[in-house]
Amino acid sequence: MHILVTNDDGIQAPGLLALAQSMRQLGEVTVFAPDRNWSASGHVKTLDRPMRVHEVQLADGTPGFASDGAPSDCVALPLLGLTKPVDVVVSGINPNANISHDVTYSGTVTAAMEAVISGVFGVAVSLNSPEGFKGALDYSTAASVAMRIVRKVLQDGLPKGILLNINVPYIQESELKGLLITRQGLRVYRDVLDERLDPRGRPYYWIGGEVPTGVPEDGTDFGALTAGYVSITPLQLDLTAYQVMDDLKTWKWE
């Protein structure tokens, strides 16, 4: 088995190292990740500039490749032949949950989407760490859960076009209630426009505000996390709203 490990937090992120170490139990691992943090960069295809790739070492000496491309580029380049053929792409471990509407913003999830576009299994792994956590996060639960889920994916396969979006509560593995198959819930974004002035009196802007929360409804990703379960949401890239197609067809278009 050849497992491609990537992330959106950059090649030196501790979550990437934890994921690479756990995936090594399942087969040969190639680490190929961005050379800087691309969190919330969404699904990117870099076409307007060349990309560079250089060999690096992770903190434990694991060899890897870093690129100045986006997370999805770091999947596209290997799958286009920069490395030998890949059986599964595993992205993470992101330090914060990627649930609900987050998935199209998330570099972690869109890297797994890029795998599916190329016909390769894709799994995204995120840790629901506490808001405002300071210090070194413990990735051990998420790394172990990721290993169990990817092992199952390699045994049984995934349907064509489907990726798994995994979110893991920030608790010890022995405290987990189990694994739940979930749907995307509702994110509650609390963004506010933060306008400031630069030293020359010209305005500039931040998207500010409180960190997002979610609606902890049963059956959803956020509901599972809130109740102490690992959330496994199967995602597809077909975003068509089938339920409104028939109605729209009856509209008189001017």
| Binding-site ranges for Mn ion (CB under 5 A) | 8-9, 39, 94
Give the nearest distance from C-beta 19 to Mn ion in angstroms: 12
Give the nearest distance from C-beta 13 to Mn ion in angstroms: 8
Q: What burial class does residue 145 get, using C-beta atoms within 10 Å of its C-beta: 0-12 exposed, 13-18 middle, 19+ buried?
A: buried
Give the nearest distance from C-beta 133 to Mn ion in angstroms: 14
Pick between residue 39 and residue 220 the one whose CB is nearest to Mn ion: 39
CA 197 to chain centre: 34
Q: What burial class does residue 223 get, using C-beta atoms within 10 Å of its C-beta: 0-12 exposed, 13-18 middle, 19+ buried?
A: buried
Q: How many residues does the chain have?
A: 254
Pick between residue 9 and residue 102 the one whose CB is nearest to Mn ion: 9
Give the nearest distance from C-beta 134 to Mn ion in angstroms: 17
Contact 115, 79 (CB under 8 A): yes
Tell me the residue number closest to Mn ion, measured at CB.
39
Pick between residue 180 and residue 225 the one whose CB is nearest to Mn ion: 225
The Cα 218–Cα 237 span in angstroms is 24
Pick between residue 15 and residue 223 the one whose CB is nearest to Mn ion: 15
Pick between residue 15 and residue 78 the one whose CB is nearest to Mn ion: 15
CA 38 to chain centre: 11
Q: What burial class does residue 195 get, using C-beta atoms within 10 Å of its C-beta: 0-12 exposed, 13-18 middle, 19+ buried?
A: exposed
Give the nearest distance from C-beta 94 to Mn ion in angstroms: 4
